[in-house]
A and B are shown apart, each in its own frame.
Chain A
């Protein structure tokens, strides 16, 4: 199963995908946005000794500063919750979004510490003026193995393009949670899901 390897490679390179807080005017096209953020974050990861020695706090800071403004976490949580999103109250939706955000950020940050200088290639991109939804395709090049596709799904918002899903080798990092979320909700309701997300995030804290 190459799956696991692939998840690793994907995770470790996707952060890069969203950074670039300073020079992201709202009208930056999606492919350019992804490109800037990828390059900027990878450059930092390559040169930062703390990150390379696995300092997870530092990586989380980097992600917070560079990446998160380009993500739409509400939409991500909504996608992961599927039908159950509608039965959650606005307050529950907010809590869910916060917890899911924490989980994703921790995962990405962990993955970034495993980054090993793989090259990223950007595939040709085209978009029409009126499009509000875009898929930016990139791939991770590695010797002796098929390149891993790393695709970003963005939608246009008043504040610019926002990432709402990422697929690594065809695995959506957002919808991959659907089944486990749904089964948690079936078992113990929305609050049950919130509780287990919370426990998961706190548990990871301790490590």
Chain B
């Protein structure tokens, strides 16, 4: 199982102090370099996964690292700390994440959502005792989930080939690059004291890994082939997130679904307000672009 998005990059970067960007780029460049080599050699491969051979190797490597390090540590964490404490930890980091979720919502022109995120931070940082309690959710301010990869997707940047990065796990090429921005804007990476920064990052990674410990069993149970199950779930999930959960259905006989970016969609928002006034319905946009009735998408 891969490590939660953006966290490992942050950690790797954290240890290198100012070399953050370099670390991510150093991981990305060789990964992308292989693209050309494998794309032609694969024969009838999956067009979304042109470097499947490479990806499978990295996937196996990540699994090994996970089994050796992250999973045992996460299991220890669950065993050592009671649920309310772990919830507090996860709320604390969730509150920090809300800051840049707000920024991304703003960049996507979703002003009400951005305001909601800002409200969450305000409420949780105060009444929620520095984010330890998620009182904002109870107060009806819904948590969102945004990152720069989604923002770029929303702007029409295609996902590009699927790639499994060492330590970081599955990404589309677009998301891999967007992650540099994610980790640059991550408040925790901005901390000056390196020791606090590193321990906060490590805690965050362990907490997030612990959150999905039980899922390992289920993926093992469900997957005919773990690698492609995780890949396809990841791609579907990213696609859905870019549409904020309202992605049009894939065509029934079209085995080649992409992550929505072929169709997408929106122009970069010229100004946030006009987009808010006239939100674009993804299905409608697809209809306009593809010229097919949205109803066909459902079949």
Binding site for B on A (CB under 8 A): 1-8, 11-12, 78-79, 82-83, 103, 106-107, 110-111, 114, 133, 143-147, 149, 153, 167, 169-173, 175-184, 186, 196-197, 200, 204
Contacts and interface: CB of A to CB of B under 8 A. Distances in A.
A111 B247 CA distance: 25
B229 interface: yes
Contact of A179 (B232, B237, B239): B232
Interface of B: 1-5, 44, 46, 87, 90-91, 94, 134, 137, 142-145, 169-170, 208, 211-212, 214-219, 221-225, 228-234, 236-237, 239-241, 243, 245, 247, 249-250, 252-255, 257, 298
Contacts of A82: 252-255
Contacts of B247: 170
Contacts of A8: 212, 214-215, 218
A109 to B, nearest CB: 9
A146 B145 contact: yes
A144 B46 CA distance: 37
Contacts of B1: 1, 4
Given A114-B214, A179-B232, A180-B232, A1 B5 contact: yes
B253 A3 contact: no
Highest count of chain B CB atoms <10 Å: which of A2, A133, A182: A2
A134 to B, nearest CB: 11
Given A82-B252, A179-B231, A179-B232, A1 B218 contact: no
Contact of A184 (B46, B224, B232, B249): B224
A144 B212 contact: no
A138 to B, nearest CB: 12
5 contacts: A1-B3, A4-B216, A169-B237, A176-B236, A179-B232
B255 A170 contact: no
Contact of B211 (A5, A83, A184): A5
Contacts of B143: 144-147
A5 B212 contact: yes
Highest count of chain B CB atoms <10 Å: which of A78, A179, A196: A179
A193 to B, nearest CB: 9
A204 B222 CA distance: 10
Contacts of B137: 143-144
Contact of A146 (B142, B208, B223, B233): B142
